[in-house]
A = this chain, B = another copy of it.
Amino acid sequence: MSTDSNHTNSRRQFLRQAGLTAATAAIAGPAIALPMSASPTQNDDQRKVGFAIVGLGKYAQEQMMPAFKESKHAKITALVSGSPEKMQKLAKEYSVDAKNCYSYQNFDSIKDNPAVDVVYVVLPPGMHAEYVVRAAQAGKHVLTEKPMANTVAECQRMIDACRKAGKKLMVAYRAQFEPFNLEAIDRIKKGELGKLRYVTSDHGRQVKPTEDKADEWRVVKKLAGGGSLMDIGIYSLNAARYLTGEEPVEVMAMESTDHSDPRFKEVEDQIHFTLRFPSGVLATCTSAYSIETVKRFRAFGEKAFLDLDPATDYYEHNMTIGKADGEMKPSIKEGNQFAAELDHMAECVLENKTPKTPGEEGLRDIKLIMAIYESARKGKPVKV
């Protein structure tokens, strides 16, 4: 089975060769000559936007790539990987021509490939900035996974590069394309709960780097940027923002990490944080890497609560609304959030629109995450 491990290992080999710096962006292999007819916007899949998938790890293989099959406007036209075997297998599965397969070394030559409209970066966060900037410099629109990057400076560099290149930049916040979450936002906005008072959200799971190779990079700070907060707690944070529709002005956090646990030598285990919003609404969130999986939130209004549990799962969601006279579970149809996300990016390209979750959205979360870390480290609230 091809796993993130191979992906990570080949990435690591590459990193060892090239160094994990922006300078690696300059390394480019020979460009591959492409016939113009390969352009996806001009062939049978007319109006389908061509995506190059950068990083063929577990998430790309098991969630994102299959979603293209359900997408209306997006298709996979190129692959980028450090593992030729993995790439060959996937190229066959997704009918990607060998000439549209790139290594990390020759990735920059993708600029000459008209089959690629969008570069989708599914690498560990520590590598996002480099590949987003290189993609923008290659004249491609960019979709990047969350968290956007390891630092605020990297996020800004990504935004600047895409702006300079005149290309779209979107951060893949799948929950913002998921029907139950959209319904929750809508019901809160329409006042079904009365005045919103506060939100709680809990996201956690067991990170298992020795059992699941897809988790290896998650405990390496250089690649993951941090621990549970960067990877899964960000769902609590992002939900607090999209459920309230506000931007927090103050954060306060407390961390607890057992550094004798080999998983947590570099990154944090659990971090609990409270956000204060301008309206007076608070959001209290937890994030952990040492518990059985939880992905839930609740919005507390003056007249009712709205619960999603699971809230940010891949395929299963459950809404409960509780009022004084009892609880009800609205009937909402599950939808493919991955395909919706891809279609949105494709539509933004086709219709020259700004994505719903642009680079600035990713930057906001990273700024908040840094403030949360700062609050936990210094033991005091941080204004943002």
Contacts and interface: CB of A to CB of B under 8 A. Distances in A.
Interface stretch (A124-132, A181-189, A200-208, A366-374): A200-208
A256 B206 CA distance: 33
A291 B290 CA distance: 31
B282 A292 contact: no
A288 B256 contact: no
A303 B208 CA distance: 13
A111 interface: no
Contact of A286 (B200, B250, B269, B303): B200
B272 A256 contact: no
Interface string A282-322: 10101010111110001011111100000000000000001
Contact of A272 (B195, B258, B274, B291): B274
A161 interface: no
A96 to B, nearest CB: 35
A291 B195 CA distance: 9
A381 interface: yes
B272 A288 contact: no
A197 B254 contact: no
B380 A292 contact: no
Contacts of A300: 202, 204, 286, 288, 291-292, 294
Contacts of A202: 200, 298, 300
Contact of A292 (B281, B292, B303): B303
Main secondary structure of the interface of A (DSSP, over half): strand
A191 interface: no
A198 interface: yes
Nearest to A285: B284
A277 to B, nearest CB: 9
Nearest to A380: B380
A316 to B, nearest CB: 12
A324 interface: yes
Given A276-B254, A381-B380, A304 B292 contact: yes
Given A282-B286, A380-B380, 19 more contacts: A195-B290, A197-B269, A197-B288, A197-B290, A202-B300, A206-B302, A252-B379, A254-B276, A256-B280, A257-B280, A272-B282, A284-B284, A290-B302, A291-B301, A292-B302, A292-B303, A292-B323, A292-B324, A380-B381
